[in-house]
Amino acid sequence: MQRKLRGRYLLPGMVVVGVAIAGMLTSGESASQAATPPAGAQALHSATSAKAGPITYNAPPSSGIAAGQILFEQNCASCHGSDASGGERAPNLQGLGPATVDFWVSTGRMPLASANAQPARKPPRFNRAQTLQIVAFVNSLAPTGADYPSGIPSVNTSAADIATGNSLFTLNCAGCHTITGAGDALSNGFFAPSLHKAQARQVVEAIRTGPSLMPHFGPGNLSDQQVADIVAYVTGPIQHPSDHGGLGFGGIGPVAEGFIGLLFGVGGLMLVAFWLGDRK
């Protein structure tokens, strides 16, 4: 009994494999050099800007307060109240400082899309100028509390030490955000978000203001230089990991690796065995 070579499987199989390899190669190391995230907001120099250091905190321009009030009334007051004092549905924003407001608005978390347990990053509704106007307005309502930075941070990472940032990140951040910054689920529907889209300024703001469930790291806990080191590490090896070994699978580790190993490794070889052996 003679059989044809199973040519009908050969060509489609080769096409699939070829596409798969091409796809994998173009998303490997070379493609992980994504465009650097846009630099944090340029320092808006005003009379109240702090002295030069790894992080400078600049107050938002007061010229934006009027426009900010209009934007706030249209987009935020329905929950936070016209004077941002909050209520049942939303917290009091007075005294939280410009960095807090800038974080929530520029990451798109506010305005809130749906009343989930925790607001998530999404494309921001406002452009940078508008965001600063809103920040200026809220900032004008009350003096900033002692626990919060007095201005919007801008980071200078030229003197940052990535190895120190690595060590600090591992000790303080990896427990929630994972060692690769991929984010993970906390209790009761909350989560620590992925850091892969965070801009340098937003990293500082999050560290200094402790949004949602995040702990609040003040200058007594992490100095400005240490925060700059962490920012350098996040915007460097976290957001542009050295995926020297190929596809990174999202950086979530053995769960993804086991899936691939079983599906492609064992599964693929079982397919080979299916071809090689008999069916009877």
Partner 1 sequence: MTTTTSPTPTGGARRGRAGKPDPVVAGVRWLDERLGVAKGGRVLLDKIFPDHWSFLLGEIALYSFVILIATGVFLSLYFIPSAQEFVYHGVYAPLRGSRVSSAFASTVDLSFKVRSGLVIRQMHHWAADVFVGSIAVHMCRIFFTGAFRKPRELNWMIGITLLILALTNGFIGYSLPDDLVSGTGLRIMFSIVLSIPVVGTYLATFLFGGNFPGDGTIIPRLFILHVLVVPLVILGLLAAHLGLLVRQKHTQFPGHGRTEKNVVGTPMYPTFIAKTTGFLFMVAGVLWALGGLAQINPIWQFGQYEPYKISYAVQPDWYMGWLDGALRIMPPWSFHAFGHTIPFVVTFPAVLFPGLCFNLFYVWPSLEARLTGDHAEHHLLDRPRDRPRRTAIGVGALAFFFTLFAASSTDVLANYFQISLNEVLWFFRFAVFVIPVIAGFFAYYLCREMSGVPGIGRRKRAVVITRSPQGEYESVPTEPRPGDSPEELDPSPVPVRIELDDPEPVGAGIPGVRRIPRRR
Partner 2 sequence: MTDDTLTSGPPGAAAAGSHGADDGHAAVLPLAAFDDPHMQPYAKNPRRAEAIIGLILLVGLAGFCAYGGLFWVGGQPQWEGVFFGVGLFAFGFGMSAWGKYLLPQGPFEEQRHVLASTEPEVEAMAAAIEERGKMVFRRRGFLGTILGAGAGVMGIVLAFPLLRSLGPQPKKSLAVTNWTKGVAVVDLDGRQIHQADLEVGGALTVFPQGFEGSAVDQTMLIRPAPADQDIVTKPGRETWGPKGYLAYSKLCTHAGCPVGLYEGTLKRLLCPCHQSLFEVLTGANPVFGPAPRPLPQLPLMIDSRGFLHAQGPYSEPVGPGFWERA
Q: Pick out residues in 152-181 that bind partner 2 (CB under 8 A).
A: 171-172, 174-176
Structural contact between residues 113 and 46, judged by C-beta atoms closer than 8 angstroms: no
Count other Cβ atoms within 10 Å, centred on residue 220: 6
Cβ partners under 8 Å of residue 277, min gap 6: none
Residues 37, 81, 218, 241: which binds partner 2 (CB under 8 A)?
Answer: 218
Give the shortest CB-264-to-partner 1 separation in angstroms.
Answer: 7
The rounded radius of gyration (Å) of the Cα atoms in the chain is: 25
Which of 82, 242 has the CB closer to partner 2? 242
Q: Of partner 1, partner 2, none, which one does residue 273 interact with (CB within 5 to 8 Å by kind)?
A: partner 1
Residues 5, 35, 47, 276: which binds partner 1 (CB under 8 A)?
Answer: 276
Residue 243 found at the interface with partner 1 (CB under 8 A): yes
CA distance 57 to 40: 12
Give the shortest CB-175-to-partner 2 separation in angstroms.
Answer: 3
CA distance 20 to 27: 11
CA distance 133 to 103: 14
Give the dihedral sign, CA 196/198/204/205: negative
Residue 25 found at the interface with partner 2 (CB under 8 A): yes
Of the candidates 178, 172, 176, 175, which has an alpha carbon nearest to the alpha carbon of residue 256? 178
Q: Of partner 1, partner 2, none, which one does residue 147 interact with (CB within 5 to 8 Å by kind)?
A: partner 2
Give the shortest CB-274-to-partner 2 separation in angstroms.
Answer: 12
Structural contact between residues 64 and 101, judged by C-beta atoms closer than 8 angstroms: no
Helix, strand or coil, per DSSP, at residue 152: strand
Structural contact between residues 161 and 226, judged by C-beta atoms closer than 8 angstroms: no
- Per-residue mark of binding to partner 2, 80-99 (x: CB under 8 A): --------------------
Question: Which positions from 156 through 175 interact with partner 1, judged by CB under 8 A?
Answer: 161-167, 170-171, 174-175
Which of 52, 114 has the CB closer to partner 1? 114
Residue 221 found at the interface with partner 2 (CB under 8 A): yes
Chain residues binding partner 2 by CB under 8 A are 1-5, 7, 10, 21, 24-25, 28-29, 147, 171-172, 174-176, 184, 186-188, 190, 210, 212-218, 220-221, 244-246, 276
